[in-house]
Amino acid sequence: MGKIYISGEIPKIGYELLKEHEVEIYRGKELITEEELGEKIVDADALLCPLSTPVTRNVLEKAKNLKIIANFGAGFNNIDVSYAKENNIVVTNAPGVSTEATAELTMGIILAVTRRIPEGDQLCRTVGFNGWAPLFFLGRELTHKTLGIIGLGSIGQAVSKRAKAFGMQIIYTSPRRKSREIEEACDATYVSLDELLHQSDIVSIHAPYNASTHHLITLKQLENMKKNAFLVNVSRGAVVKESDLVAALQNNMIAGAALDVFEFEPSITEELKQMQNVVLTPHIGNATIEARNAMAELTAKNIIQVLNGEKPLTPVN
């Protein structure tokens, strides 16, 4: 039986799978501090942590028995993976299970920003409106528009298939061109990043976060977009340089933005909150009952595999 520390509450299915082990759960309302996390995993065999838990070198240096860090999320940039590897600590993530949920949210916030749905909701709840009028509250249709997808991985592919149902044209860019089979399935055309920014009516970011994608979108790239185009980000906040995005919006360089992630998350740049042409959601890309249950199951199974001396299902390192 192993000792498992869970640094944030997860769906019940995860606890049920781990019930044969000694499990301690952090139930605080605020995110766990680095100091407390270090104290709690001193003698733990496994750490199950949400994406919002920073697992730094300082924390890991205190762990004497740790065999696995099972990240509750597809990403893992919150973990010092290099240090974990040096010390034979397995790191796992939970990819794949959030694809459909994140793709659905992407289409939702695209519709929200192009059809001004949150703005209309707020109007109805406050001053109201005078009735239907030919020029009142105009938005933009998706039909016949070009969607540029940055990163045609599983989520990007799922978004492309949904966008086709709206009659959109799909172009994409990625470090490597996808196979003909994937391009045909998505009806997507490969272009360079510059071409994508120049041609797209909506630019949707689905790239993983790493050194090469940090500040992939800055003022230089935003200047290359159409003035009536929208930027959508459901990947990682720091892919976009947030101060440059604010400047582009303030200077009417693009028509608007829809963001589920933020560069300094959970903080959100104050100017973005004041803009009616910006839709903001609190990092809820995979926040569905179905996706989170699947994520809890996969994360728990990774721990069980490693504590049983077997290979994890979704190793990072």
| Catalytic choice (116, 206, 242, 283) | 283
Q: How far apart are CA 210 and CA 244, in angstroms?
A: 19
In the residue annotation, 236 being an active-site residue is answered as yes
| Catalytic choice (236, 242, 263, 297) | 236
In the residue annotation, 283 being an active-site residue is answered as yes
In the residue annotation, 144 being an active-site residue is answered as no
| Catalytic choice (34, 104, 265, 271) | 265
Strand 169-173 versus strand 278-280 pairing type? unpaired
Residues recognised as catalytic: 236, 265, 283
